[in-house]
Amino acid sequence: MIPALMPNYNRADLVFERGEGAWLWDAQGRRFLDFGAGIATTSIGHAHPHLVSAIAEQAGRVMHTSNLYRVPQAERLAARLVEATPFADSVYFSNSGAEANEAMVKAVRKYHAANGHPERFRTICFEGAFHGRTLAMISATGNAKYLEGFGPPVDGFDHVPFGNMNAVRQAITKETAAIMIEPIQGEGGVRPADLRFLQELRATCDEFGLLLALDEVQTGMGRSGKLWAHQWAGIEPDVMSSAKGIGGGFPLGATLAREKVAEHLKPGTHGSTYGGNPLACSAGNAVLDVILAPGFLDQVDRVARHLWRGMQDLAGRHPKVVAGVQGAGLLLGLKLHDVVSNAEAQGAAVAEGLLTVAAGMNVLRVAPPLIITEAEADEALGLLDRAMLRITPGEAKAAAK
């Protein structure tokens, strides 16, 4: 018989009852170091007192009023995001990454239509991308596995190999509206785009009158050690999506845009009942208080470099299992050899008390809360070390003794 909760996920048989910072406790009282952060989402850790009190306080006043009325919490959060994000002039709020991307693609199409080019509706996307699970976003993602059985894909998304500038230029036609890319492919295997490639995409967009649309749902909100990952490349997009870490675990999505793009989303063009409600935006403001505090992102960068060095050492100690380390900031991946699967590695880490997340291309993703200390990074490295020993072919028995 089908379970009451729809069986559309492969869930591990773990139940977490309580969290604090980078730690989670399960129903048996076992303690886990959470280096998955609910898929890069609990950005300031579990039960952060400032976030908890902001949510509780707002819930006790008013949670939701709809966008029929002004929402001061949303106005404040938008103003702060615009202030902190050089390219952005205006922000649209939603409830998830897929929705933030939907708004981004709709804004791109509207921009060209409003400028007399309704035929320019196509977006160039990349192989290995992940943009969400709505009908349009599975088309933007382009992964055959996600499209199968859901009817004709939404038209208007063309895919080229990640990092291939010639292929991008060849894919541009009179119908092309934008190029959409994750600065680091998350689900696709923690694959960073070359900074040069991002710079060339910016130049190509300028050359052909295209908009550069960045999906920073996973890479944004401080995860790379800067507020936005694209800032490492010294470029600016025209429109960008954010979600995951922006609410610290409370559902919130945002689409940030230049004025020339945002101005076309006039009343009636797009919307969401929940989007940007007082509760979600109070959570967003509390997260921003922490992430924009002086020195916070410098510490993320410091601890990320520390973790990176430790993962390189780890890779060196386990050459039979680990092929290399990739990623940036606190979005890192252990690329594994084919002899072991990332699911196996993930399971071994859980057995040692460490939570991680699998990603594409047989990568084990490490995406801790941004508040971790160097000591917690070292602890995670120790647990990973033991997990790798568990799964090393031919050494499993020796390790078990």
Ligand X SMILES: *Cc1c(COP(=O)(O)O)cnc(C)c1O
Q: Does 28 belong to an annotated binding site? A: no
Residues near ligand X (CB under 6 A) are: 96-98, 101, 130-132, 182, 186-187, 215, 217-218, 243-244
Residue nearest to ligand X (CB): 97
Q: Does 130 belong to an annotated binding site? A: yes
Reading the block at residue 56, the tokens are: 């509780």
Residue 41's CB: how many other CB atoms inside 10 A?
22
Q: Does 273 belong to an annotated binding site? A: yes
Say if residues 110 and 177 touch (Cβ distance below 8 Å). Answer: no
Q: How far is the CB of 309 from ligand X (least distance, A)?
A: 26
Which residue lies nearer to ligand X by CB, 158 or 215?
Answer: 215
Say if residues 366 and 332 touch (Cβ distance below 8 Å). Answer: yes
Which residue lies nearer to ligand X by CB, 217 or 334?
Answer: 217
Which residue lies nearer to ligand X by CB, 187 or 376?
Answer: 187
Q: How far is the CB of 95 from ligand X (least distance, A)?
A: 8
Which residue lies nearer to ligand X by CB, 98 or 291?
Answer: 98
Q: Does 215 belong to an annotated binding site? A: yes
Q: How far is CA 235 from CA 46, 85, 197, 206, 230, in A?
A: 33, 12, 11, 12, 6
Q: How far is the CB of 262 from ligand X (least distance, A)?
A: 20
Residues 6+ apart with CB under 8 A from 334: 311, 314, 315, 322, 324, 325, 345, 363, 364, 366, 384
Which residue lies nearer to ligand X by CB, 91 or 217?
Answer: 217
Q: Does 98 belong to an annotated binding site? A: yes
Q: Does 216 belong to an annotated binding site? A: yes
Residue type present at position 74: A
Q: How far is the CB of 125 from ligand X (least distance, A)?
A: 11
Q: Which residues are annotated as a binding site for pyridoxal 5'-phosphate?
A: 97-98, 130, 215-218, 273
Q: Which residues are annotated as a binding site for N(2)-acetyl-L-ornithine?
A: 133, 272
Q: Which residues are annotated as a binding site?
A: 97-98, 130, 133, 215-218, 272-273
